[in-house]
Amino acid sequence: MQKKKKDWETLRDTGMLGAYQPEEVSLQELPSGEILSLFSDTELWEYPGQLVRKREMVIGGKVFHIASVFQGGEKTPSTPTGKLFSHIDRQLQKDPGGV
């Protein structure tokens, strides 16, 4: 079993604070029966009729505050968070030093 990396080690190794680390995932079953993956730095807020997942990431020295809102508690195939990550990835491919 691998030991958990400290935040500074993740930043050193990836250049990102808040990088996804599969070994840190926990699973939660929603009332609908769907399984939701949560990372150690993710907050899950449940409100009537919706779920909100929040996290902060530091990428390229910039802080991103990310929230995904799922109406009816169901995940959708395309979310604003997913689109933001795609945009960040495209920007990093163009210019690895600046997001």
For residue 76, tell me if it sits in a domain: yes
| Residue 6: per-residue pLDDT | 74
pLDDT of residue 51: 81
- Residue 20 in any domain: the answer is yes
Region of residue 83 (left: phi > 0; alpha: psi -120 to 50; beta: else): alpha
CA distance 97 to 70: 32
Is 58 domain-assigned?
yes
Total number of domains constituting the chain: 1
Going by the DSSP 8-state scheme, the letter that residue 1 receives in this structure is -
Which residues form the domain of 89? 7-94
Residue 99 maps to a domain: no
Q: What is the pLDDT along the chain (99 residues), one digit of tens a residue?
A: 556 667 777 777 776 665 566 666 778 787 777 777 777 777 888 888 888 888 887 777 778 888 878 777 555 566 666 777 788 888 888 876 655
Instruction: With beta carbons less than 8 A apart as the criterion, state whether 81 and 94 touch.
Output: no
| pLDDT of res. 86 | 83
32 within some domain? yes
Tell me whether residue 33 is in a domain: yes
Rounded distance between C-alpha atoms, residue 74 and residue 49, angstroms: 9
Task: Tell whether 81 is covered by a domain.
Answer: yes
Predicted local distance difference test score (pLDDT) of residue 43: 82
Judge whether 59 lies within some domain.
yes
